[in-house]
């Protein structure tokens, strides 16, 4: 029953929009085509921001710098260093950290301490730098200082909370 409902949600929403457009006497096809034309301009504005972010993430991942830093931190930390790539890369790229989470779950299992901690970190944090770069850059906002600090503070709070709560509930 749930799968039937979930498969019908999008077609029903499209139908609802079409019916509303007919009710308001809007030329639905022309409005759709105009919106599609406008999206090309938006894509042209967003593409350089996305390309720069992807380039930076790939350079960071492929340089080996993160592995070197994580090995230095291993004796100091009270939680598994295997989740450090997620902690450092989550503010930058959600797709990268989702791939890291997938790898951790495949290697350690979803019910392991590492799997649970990585899952909570994925859910408790956001891609702050990605969001600021993409959304603020696409509309031309240049002064992002307070947004950056607020977003990063929220990420730190999510990470610290994840470490504490997963440690309390599932032990290390």
Would residue 4 count as lying in a domain? no
Q: Is residue 109 helix, strand or coil?
A: coil
Series of mean pLDDT values for 10-residue runs along the chain (172 residues): 82 90 89 84 78 77 80 85 87 86 92 94 90 80 85 94 93 70
Q: Which two tokens stand for residue 151?
A: 């977003």
**What are the CA-CA distances from residue 69 to residues 33, 77, 81 (Å)?**
50, 12, 10
Query: What pLDDT score does 8 carry?
Result: 87
Would residue 26 count as lying in a domain? no
Would residue 113 count as lying in a domain? yes
Would residue 8 count as lying in a domain? no
Note whether 49 and 138 are within 8 A (CB). yes
Q: What is the pTM of this model?
A: 0.65
Residue 141 backbone dihedrals phi, psi, to 5 degrees: -80, 125
| CA separation for the pair 119, 83 (Å, rounded) | 10
Would residue 7 count as lying in a domain? no
Q: Which two tokens stand for residue 101?
A: 């989470």
* Range of the structural domain that residue 133 is part of: 43-170
Q: Structurally, how many domains does the chain consist of?
A: 1
Would residue 76 count as lying in a domain? yes
The residue with tokens 């599609």 is: 36
Would residue 3 count as lying in a domain? no
């Amino acid at each position: 029953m749930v799968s039937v409902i979930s498969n019908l949600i999008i077609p029903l929403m499209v139908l609802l929009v079409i019916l509303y457009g007919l009710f308001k006497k809007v030329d639905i096809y022309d409005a759709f085509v105009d919106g599609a034309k406008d999206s090309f301009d938006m894509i042209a504005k967003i593409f350089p921001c996305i390309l720069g972010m992807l380039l930076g993430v790939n350079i960071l991942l492929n340089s080996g710098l993160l592995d070197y830093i994580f090995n230095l931190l291993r004796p100091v930390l009270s939680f598994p260093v295997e989740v450090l790539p997620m902690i450092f890369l989550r503010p930058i790229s959600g797709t990268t950290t989702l791939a890291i989470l997938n790898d951790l779950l495949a290697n350690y299992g979803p019910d392991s301490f590492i799997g649970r901690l990585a899952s909570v970190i994925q859910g408790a944090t956001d891609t702050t730098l990605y969001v600021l770069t993409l959304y603020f850059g696409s509309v031309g906002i240049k002064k992002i200082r307070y947004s950056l600090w607020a977003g990063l503070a929220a990420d730190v709070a999510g990470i610290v909370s994840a470490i504490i709560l997963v440690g309390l509930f599932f032990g290390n």
